[in-house]
Amino acid sequence: MLATPARLHHYGCMRALVSTFVALLAVAMSINAAGAAQCGPFGDAPAEVNHGGYANFVSSHNPICWGRKVVGPFTDADGTQRNACLYEPADAGKTNPLPLVIFLHGSIATADSIRLTGLFALVKTADLGGKPPGFILLAPEGRYTTHFYPGLDSNGLGWDNWYRQLNPAGDVTVAGVVYHENQDAAAIDHFVNEEIATGKVDRNRIYVMGWSNGAAMAMLYALNRPSVAAAAVYSAPDPFGAFTDPCPQTPVATAPNAVGQVQVFNPHVPLMHVRNDCDIGGICPNGIKLAKELSTLGDSVNDIMLDPSDKQVTSCDDTCGTDAMGDGKVASIGSLRGAAHHLRWPADWNISMLAFLKDHPLSSAAPHP
């Protein structure tokens, strides 16, 4: 297991961040105006990219990457410049292709928040099945858009897991209407394909990890990319329906027969979801709902619930919420505790999460998309 000092290093500042974050969340609970939009075959309409003032300032942010490589900028189809952080062992190369881990940050955070996980420190030593040990770590950065999350998080940097058009083929036409590919998924594809083109990536071992909103997007991305071997995420709201989302859907492995269903194209991808028995906005029961939805695809998610000491437990703490959509309440004692848990990464579980990924490569005989 990774030693706990990695968490202690940032715990003090995270406690202060929790207090500020929760106070701001408690100011308002709101549904974005986009919530009135009609639901379509891919759930909600594409997230609105916000411009002007603070949104422009945040959108123009370039990740620091702390001395590692900044990849980009890449301009997506909506005109937003995208960047990513790349952490590579020095010996990564065509003669030594390594596993690739894609990490997606939480909402309101940036790609640099990966420093709070301890994962970047393991790129030279962790065994994900490569020879020698080590892996490439790619951390794209999201966009400043509307979210169906409470209060402060109704707008911010993050990932659009509400518009679920992630067909690997790109744009699709349904009933004569063209639905463009989810731009966050397309941006992730861009950075992944750039790294694959270097010849440094073991294409049987492409994995996804994420935190919070980034965990939701990581699951959605993995479920729709046959090139992804497995995903291990932390504290994901259900990407198919959580909080105030007006257009929840059920994932299916075949063509949908109603607007309330959406097809996923990698339905049997192995998934590990590490989450808290008391979590922000009361989302522990929402994780149970997600696990049930995923089980309908024919496989079960490795669903790990943790108590405040990061010990595995078998049930949610009902004092922190019982609503399957996540009640979104932020002013209760339970929600304060849930926010504190949510805003720190369970570094003691890093080795277990990476081991799960290692144990689930693509078959060497499987064709690469």
**Low-confidence winner among 54-58, 59-63, 73-77 (lowest mean pLDDT):** 54-58
pLDDT, residue 30, reads 33
Report yes or no: 316 and 285 within 8 Å, Cβ to Cβ.
Answer: yes
Would the pLDDT of 3 be above 50? no
pLDDT, residue 17, reads 38
**Low-confidence winner among 30-44, 210-224, 293-307, 326-340 (lowest mean pLDDT):** 30-44
Alpha-carbon dihedral 156, 162, 164, 170, rounded to 10 degrees:
-30
Split into its structural domains, the chain has a count of: 1
Q: Model confidence at 31, in pLDDT bands (50, 70, 90)?
A: very low
Report yes or no: 214 and 239 within 8 Å, Cβ to Cβ.
Answer: no
Report yes or no: 63 and 54 within 8 Å, Cβ to Cβ.
Answer: no
Q: Mean pLDDT throughout 85-105?
A: 93
Any domain includes 354 = yes
pLDDT, residue 300, reads 87
Query: What whole-number distance in Å separates Cα of residue 340 and Cα of residue 334?
Result: 10
The CA R_g of the chain, rounded to the nearest whole Å, is: 19
Q: Model confidence at 27, in pLDDT bands (50, 70, 90)?
A: very low
pLDDT, residue 34, reads 39
Residue in the block written with tokens 């080795």:
351
**Low-confidence winner among 79-88, 252-261, 328-337 (lowest mean pLDDT):** 328-337
Range of the domain at 309: 5-358
Tell me what percent of the residues of the chain surpass a pLDDT of 70: 83
Mean pLDDT of the chain: 87
pLDDT, residue 24, reads 34
What CATH number does the domain containing 93 carry? 3.40.50.1820
Would the pLDDT of 6 be above 50? no
pTM exceeds 0.75 for this model? yes
Any domain includes 366 = no
Q: Model confidence at 366, in pLDDT bands (50, 70, 90)?
A: low
pLDDT, residue 53, reads 53
pLDDT, residue 130, reads 81
pLDDT, residue 68, reads 83
Q: Model confidence at 89, in pLDDT bands (50, 70, 90)?
A: very high
Q: Mean pLDDT throughout 128-139?
A: 92
Any domain includes 364 = no
- The terminus-to-terminus CA distance of the chain in angstroms comes to 34
Q: Mean pLDDT throughout 143-171?
A: 94
Query: What whole-number distance in Å separates Cα of residue 270 and Cα of residue 15?
Result: 33
Tell me what percent of the residues of the chain surpass a pLDDT of 90: 72
Q: Mean pLDDT throughout 309-318?
A: 96
Rounded (5°) CA angle 289-293-295: 115
Three-state SS at 334? helix
Any domain includes 268 = yes
Report yes or no: 246 and 35 within 8 Å, Cβ to Cβ.
Answer: yes
Q: Mean pLDDT throughout 271-298?
A: 96
- How many CA atoms does the CB half-sphere of 268 hold within 13 Å? 6
Would the pLDDT of 43 be above 50? yes
Query: What whole-number distance in Å separates Cα of residue 297 and Cα of residue 50?
Result: 35
Any domain includes 30 = yes
Three-state SS at 240? coil
pLDDT, residue 55, reads 54
pLDDT, residue 33, reads 36
Measured CA to CA in angstroms, residue 365 lies from 124, 162, 216, 225 at distances of 27, 34, 29, 17
Measured CA to CA in angstroms, residue 369 lies from 172, 224, 225, 230 at distances of 18, 12, 9, 15
**Low-confidence winner among 4-13, 99-108, 167-176, 206-215 (lowest mean pLDDT):** 4-13
Q: Model confidence at 162, in pLDDT bands (50, 70, 90)?
A: very high
Any domain includes 305 = yes
Any domain includes 252 = yes
User: Between β-strands 261-263 and 302-306, what pairing exists: parallel, antiparallel or unpaired?
Assistant: unpaired
Q: Mean pLDDT throughout 345-353?
A: 97
Would the pLDDT of 354 be above 90? yes
Any domain includes 13 = yes
- How many CA atoms does the CB half-sphere of 30 hold within 13 Å? 14
